[in-house]
Amino acid sequence: MMQNKYKTVEESQVRISELMLPSHSNFNGKIHGGYILSLLDQIAFACASKHSGVYCVTASVDTVDFLKPIEIGELVTMKASVNYVGRSSMVIGIRVEAENIQTGAVKHCNSSHITMVAKDEKGKAVQVPGLILKTDNDIRRFAQSIKRKEIKIKDNEEFQATDFNSEEYLHIVEKYKVKIER
């Protein structure tokens, strides 16, 4: 099924640009975050499918950091790369920039990491090509993805082991802007 056992980061990179229209805006006149999330999912799919050569599904949206608002009329460019590969999974890193097409000013608006899984026609996870890391940036992104995954596993294990019905966690809740009425 896999033609190449390894691919470079560059071979799977995807870049899309789209002009932001009034129909993409929220009630505050900025581009709706949900619209950007939809575009992020589409480019992650394209990048992962390009790397794996098969259909891919979204396994998790690991991080989405909205850094700056996007305005109507700005040209949004998304750049996606495979940052990490496992057996059948890939972490796709996406950078979102918005350009004011009148002034040429570009701002970094969003960074995201989405885990995609390669599937066959029957929906079974399939092995993906390995990743050839050529630059220090490629190595850094791969290492960051490993660390992010380790932290996610550790945090999930700790969360699952926590008994939130216990009275010992009441003091945590009471530190916040809540009023407990029993």
C-beta atoms surrounding 145 within 10 Å: 22
The pLDDT assigned to 3 comes to 52
pLDDT over 90 at 50, yes or no:
yes
pLDDT over 90 at 163, yes or no:
no
Q: What are the strands of the beta sheet with 14-19, ordered from one edge? A: 14-19, 75-85, 89-99, 106-119, 55-66
Mean pLDDT throughout 30-34? 97
CB distance 51 to 93 below 8 Å: no
Mean pLDDT throughout 135-163? 94
pTM metric for this prediction: 0.90
What's the CATH code, domain 6-133? 3.10.129.10
The C-alpha R_g of the chain, in whole angstroms, comes to: 20
Per-residue pLDDT reduced to its tens digit, 57-74? 999 999 899 999 999 999
